[in-house]
Structure 1
Amino acid sequence: MLTKKEAAEAVRNAKVVTGVTWAQLAEAVGRPLAWTTAALLGQHPMSKEEAGAATALLELGEDVALALQTQPTRGALDAAVPVDPTIYRLYEVIQVYGPTIKELIHEQCGDGIMSAINFRLDVRRVPDPGGDRVVITLDGKYLPYQW
């Protein structure tokens, strides 16, 4: 059986061969774009139906569909400090603004955290006269610490 990492590589390769977009895959799977993309990259388990819809569109076999259904080991970074420029910039944002985000969550919500389990993500391009912008929305449920 393929690993989730091998299945993710097969998905990426098939996207190039078929020309299928992440948005088309999300529509076929019937789930949000960010969730579908993360699942196909190995970060969420897919149902049999979801995996089947994706692999059919990508012209991939049952071995990939089975791997997409397995429970993942979450966390996609191979190193503590990412080297990919796009991922590194997000890491840099957290390095610079992480303490601010923490302070603002605590001031506005109390002693707690933002859930990454009960979570929504959106990424979109927004035209701007000074150069297009990337808007990333992180929408996590607030979880208070319970002592």
Structure 2
Amino acid sequence: MVTKKEAAEAVRAAKARLGLTWAQLAEAVGRPVAWTTSALLGQQPMSAAEADAAVALLDLGDDVRQALLLQPTRGALEGAVPTDPTIYRFYEVLQVYGPTLKELIHEEFGDGIMSAINFRFGVERVPDPAGDRVVVTLDGKFLPYQW
């Protein structure tokens, strides 16, 4: 059996070899593109039907299928501060705007947090005369602290 990390590497290699997009994989799996990408990179467990659809399209074996069914150990970053420039920018956004986000969430909702468990997100390209914009939507359920 392969690990979820090894399965993710196999998925990425097959995706590149076959010229597939994450959107095509999501359509085959029947789930949103963000969730499907996360699952195929090892951060969500897939159902048997979802894993079957993914490995069939990617022409991968049962070892990868089995790994896709496993519960993940969530959190894919191996170091404290990410070094990949794209991922680091999100870290930087939270370093700069995290306190502001916290204040605005508390002012609007009260004492609590935004769930990363009951959570959806999306990535969108928006044309702009000054250069295309990346719009990232984070959509988490508010969970009040209960003392």
TM range (shorter): over 0.9
CA distance in 1, matches of 2:41, 2:18: 17
Look up the match of 2:118: 118
Pairwise CA RMSD: 0.4
Give the residue type in structure 2 aligned to 1:145: Y
CA distance in 2, matches of 1:93, 1:85: 12
Runs of at least 4 residues off by over 4 Å: none
Give the residue type in structure 2 aligned to 1:23: A
- The offset of 1:49, in angstroms, is 0.6
CA distance in 2, matches of 1:20, 1:57: 9
Which runs of 5 or more structure 1 residues have no equivalent in the other structure? Answer: none
Give the residue type in structure 2 aligned to 1:83: T
Look up the match of 1:27: 27
Which runs of 5 or more structure 2 residues have no equivalent in the other structure? Answer: none
CA distance in 1, matches of 2:60, 2:24: 15
Give the residue type in structure 2 aligned to 1:113: I
Matches within 5 A, 1:99-114: 99-114=99-114
CA distance in 2, matches of 1:17, 1:78: 26
With the length of structure 2 as denominator, give the TM-score of the two structures.
0.99
The CA deviation string for residues 60-96 of structure 1, in whole angstroms up to 9 with x for no partner, is 1111011000000000101010000000000000000
CA distance in 1, matches of 2:70, 2:114: 26
